[in-house]
């Protein structure tokens, strides 16, 4: 949802409204205050779209009604008061736009009553921002605050129509649809400014990422980089040498690689000969000491639980694993069967990912380990528990003297 009018358009519309009113504050009742002032300020000056789901008037809830509920989902609740009700504010020669809520309560019971009323609506509905307005004065504040009471906060105050005209840019920044969505009111109340964290410089660059000036040197470096990263690393014979000479460990990566190496050694020590190193349980090392494994981590590793490596795209998960395979723990991986499936580049055009994964498993097993999953002994070994169970079943007893029929039943099972 965006503002229907810009800041400059809203300023001009406000000036038109104020010209018709003159300098005198008309004593309107609440309905006339809404029609002649608040409706126009919201729609014509702040740019709130008058759509049924985004601009709700007189919303009835549990016997009460909220004057304005703005946004979908609702973002701010405005409470309207008749123009004859004045809000008093602490004496301030500079007429600052930010005042403490406790100070406002101390000098104005009418403001306190209106603010407590709209805060109750916000609290019941989980709406973060609230505004009370009598047509020529305005108080805006955060009605729901996490971790502390709203009573300890501050409020944006507009003391008069002249004040509204002079400070309209601040009001628009804080209370327009765009300002509410960006929570500019919170920023203004906490820092006295509606500024926010500047966007990344890359958002201002056209065709980012790209080379701005394509010199001969840049072209050669780009070609060389593409050759190294895409072709050389993809060559199996060069992969181990590349990671040995080109992979750079940071402190965190080095520690994680050491922990991963220890997990692999401990995991496979329980599988191979007893003469090899057995698992050891050690307490976690203190900060600055050689990283080691806690009892919990070692127990989980020995329980054959999977190790999950998480991270954003491009942070180096694949490179970390390949460095672990070729440099940090080559002996452990030589004694184990590991399958690497690249779904990013090799499966990009596949429509049946499941079939691709199965085919890739079969291919790598036979190419890298000479394991044919369709070979007779492999299949018999894989189904050995089922075969033994069948041979002890009543079906096997029936066909015990008919070997061909027995083999048929065995294959069918």
Residue at token pair 């327009």: 176
Query: Above 50 in pLDDT, residue 8?
Result: yes
Mutual angle of helices 7-21 and 168-175, in 10-degree steps: 120
Residue at token pair 């008061």: 81
Q: What average pLDDT does the segment 7-36 reach?
A: 85
Where is pLDDT greater, at 311 or 189? 189
**How does pLDDT run across 82-119, given as a tens digit for each residue?**
888 889 999 888 788 899 999 999 999 999 999 999 99
244-260: b or e for each residue (b if 16 or more CB lie within 10 Å)? Answer: eeebeeeeeeeebbbbb
CA atoms within 13 A on the CB side of 98: 15
Domain boundaries, the chain: 7-191, 207-246, 255-336, 377-412
Give the lowest-confidence range in 26-35, 248-257, 325-334: 248-257
Architecture of domain 7-191: Alpha-Beta Complex (3.90)
Query: Above 90 in pLDDT, residue 333?
Result: no
Give the lowest-confidence range in 15-24, 109-118, 143-152, 218-227: 218-227
Closest CA to 97 of 140, 129, 131: 140
Read off the pLDDT band of 140 (50, 70, 90).
very high
Strand partners for 350: none
The first and second tokens of residue 280, run together, are: 């050891």
Query: Above 70 in pLDDT, residue 296?
Result: no
State percent of the chain over pLDDT 70.
75
pLDDT at residue 408, as a whole number: 76
The residues, ordered by sequence, that sit 6+ positions from 86 with a Cβ below 8 Å of its Cβ are: 110, 134, 137
pLDDT at residue 284, as a whole number: 46
The first and second tokens of residue 159, run together, are: 């003391």
Contact status, residue 98 vs residue 106, Cβ threshold 8 Å = no
Closest CA to 140 of 125, 167, 124, 85: 167
Could you tell me the maximum CA-CA distance found in the chain, to the nearest angstrom? 114
Contact status, residue 158 vs residue 97, Cβ threshold 8 Å = yes
| Pairing, β 76-80 against β 64-70 | antiparallel
The first and second tokens of residue 56, run together, are: 């709700």
C-alpha 375/C-alpha 13 separation (Å) is 83
Strand order in the sheet with 55-61: 55-61, 64-70, 76-80, 129-133, 138-142, 154-158, 98-100
C-alpha 255/C-alpha 392 separation (Å) is 52
Of 47-56, 111-120, 287-296, where does the model show the most confidence? 111-120
Contact status, residue 185 vs residue 57, Cβ threshold 8 Å = no
Q: What are phi and psi of 141, to 5 degrees?
A: -155, 165
The first and second tokens of residue 192, run together, are: 């006295």
pLDDT at residue 281, as a whole number: 44
Contact status, residue 188 vs residue 156, Cβ threshold 8 Å = yes
**How does pLDDT run across 370-411, given as a tens digit for each residue?**
888 888 888 878 888 887 887 788 777 776 767 777 777 777
Give the lowest-confidence range in 166-180, 251-265, 374-388: 251-265
Give the lowest-confidence range in 189-203, 319-333, 371-385: 189-203
134-171: b or e for each residue (b if 16 or more CB lie within 10 Å)? Answer: bbbbbbbbbbeeeeeebeebbbbbbbebebbeebbebb
């Amino acid at each position: 949802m965006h503002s229907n009018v810009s800041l400059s358009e809203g300023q001009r519309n406000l000036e038109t409204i104020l010209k018709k009113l003159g300098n005198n504050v008309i004593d309107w009742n609440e309905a006339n205050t809404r029609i002649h002032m608040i409706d126009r300020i919201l729609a014509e000056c702040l740019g709130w779209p008058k759509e049924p789901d985004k601009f709700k008037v007189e919303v009835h809830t549990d016997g009460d009604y909220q004057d304005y509920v703005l946004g979908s989902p609702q973002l701010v609740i405005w409470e309207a008061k008749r123009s004859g009700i004045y809000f008093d504010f602490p004496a301030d020669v500079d007429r600052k736009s930010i005042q403490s809520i406790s100070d406002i309560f101390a000098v104005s019971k009418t403001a306190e009553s209106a603010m407590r009323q709209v805060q109750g609506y916000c609290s019941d509905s989980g709406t973060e921002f609230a505004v009370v307005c009598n047509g020529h004065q305005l108080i805006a504040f955060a009605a729901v605050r996490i971790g502390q009471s709203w009573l300890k906060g501050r409020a944006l105050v507009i003391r008069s129509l002249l004040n509204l005209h002079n400070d309209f840019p601040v009001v628009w920044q804080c209370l327009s649809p765009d300002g509410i969505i960006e929570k500019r009111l919170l920023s203004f109340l906490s820092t006295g400014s509606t500024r926010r964290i500047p966007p990344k410089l890359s958002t201002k660059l056209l065709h980012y990422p790209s080379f701005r000036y394509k010199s001969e040197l840049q072209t050669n470096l780009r070609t060389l980089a593409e050759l190294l990263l895409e072709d050389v690393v993809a060559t199996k014979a060069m992969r181990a040498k590349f990671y040995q000479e080109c992979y750079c460990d940071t402190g965190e990566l080095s520690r994680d690689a050491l922990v991963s190496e220890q997990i692999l050694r401990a995991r496979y020590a329980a599988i191979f000969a007893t003469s090899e190193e057995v698992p050891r349980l050690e307490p976690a090392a203190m900060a600055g000491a050689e990283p080691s494994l806690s009892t919990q981590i070692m127990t989980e590793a020995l329980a054959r639980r999977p190790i999950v490596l998480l991270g954003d795209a491009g942070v180096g998960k694949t490179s970390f694993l390949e460095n672990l395979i070729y440099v940090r723990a080559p002996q452990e991986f030589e004694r184990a069967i590991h399958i690497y499936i690249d779904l990013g580049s090799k499966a990009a055009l596949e429509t049946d990912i499941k079939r691709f994964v199965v085919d890739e498993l079969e291919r790598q097993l036979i190419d890298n380990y000479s394991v044919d999953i369709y070979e007779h002994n492999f299949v018999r070994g894989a189904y050995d528990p089922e075969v033994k169970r069948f041979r002890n079943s009543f079906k096997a007893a029936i066909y015990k003297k008919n070997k061909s029929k027995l083999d048929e039943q065995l294959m069918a099972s």
